[in-house]
Amino acid sequence: TGTTLEMMRALVRATSLLVDPKNRAALKFLR
Protein backbone atom coordinates (compact mmCIF):
# COMPACT_ATOMS: atom_id res chain seq x y z
CA THR A 1 0.00 0.00 0.00
CA GLY A 2 2.91 2.34 0.73
CA THR A 3 4.22 2.06 -2.83
CA THR A 4 0.82 2.87 -4.34
CA LEU A 5 0.45 5.87 -2.05
CA GLU A 6 3.88 7.14 -3.09
CA MET A 7 3.00 6.66 -6.76
CA MET A 8 -0.26 8.57 -6.29
CA ARG A 9 1.59 11.40 -4.53
CA ALA A 10 4.15 11.53 -7.37
CA LEU A 11 1.32 11.70 -9.92
CA VAL A 12 -0.39 14.50 -8.03
CA ARG A 13 2.90 16.41 -7.79
CA ALA A 14 3.60 16.02 -11.52
CA THR A 15 0.06 17.09 -12.46
CA SER A 16 0.17 20.08 -10.10
CA LEU A 17 3.54 21.18 -11.52
CA LEU A 18 2.22 20.85 -15.08
CA VAL A 19 -1.09 22.56 -14.31
CA ASP A 20 0.30 25.44 -12.21
CA PRO A 21 2.04 27.25 -15.12
CA LYS A 22 -0.96 26.61 -17.38
CA ASN A 23 -3.34 28.06 -14.80
CA ARG A 24 -1.10 31.10 -14.38
CA ALA A 25 -1.02 31.64 -18.14
CA ALA A 26 -4.80 31.27 -18.32
CA LEU A 27 -5.31 33.77 -15.50
CA LYS A 28 -2.94 36.22 -17.19
CA PHE A 29 -4.72 35.72 -20.51
CA LEU A 30 -8.14 36.26 -18.91
CA ARG A 31 -6.89 39.34 -17.09
DSSP 1-29: -HHHHHHHHHHHHHHHHHHHHHHHHHHHH
State yes or no: pLDDT of 16 exceeds 70.
yes
Prediction pTM value: 0.49
Q: Tell me what the pLDDT averaged over the chain comes to.
A: 82
**pLDDT tens across 5-15, in order?**
999 999 988 88
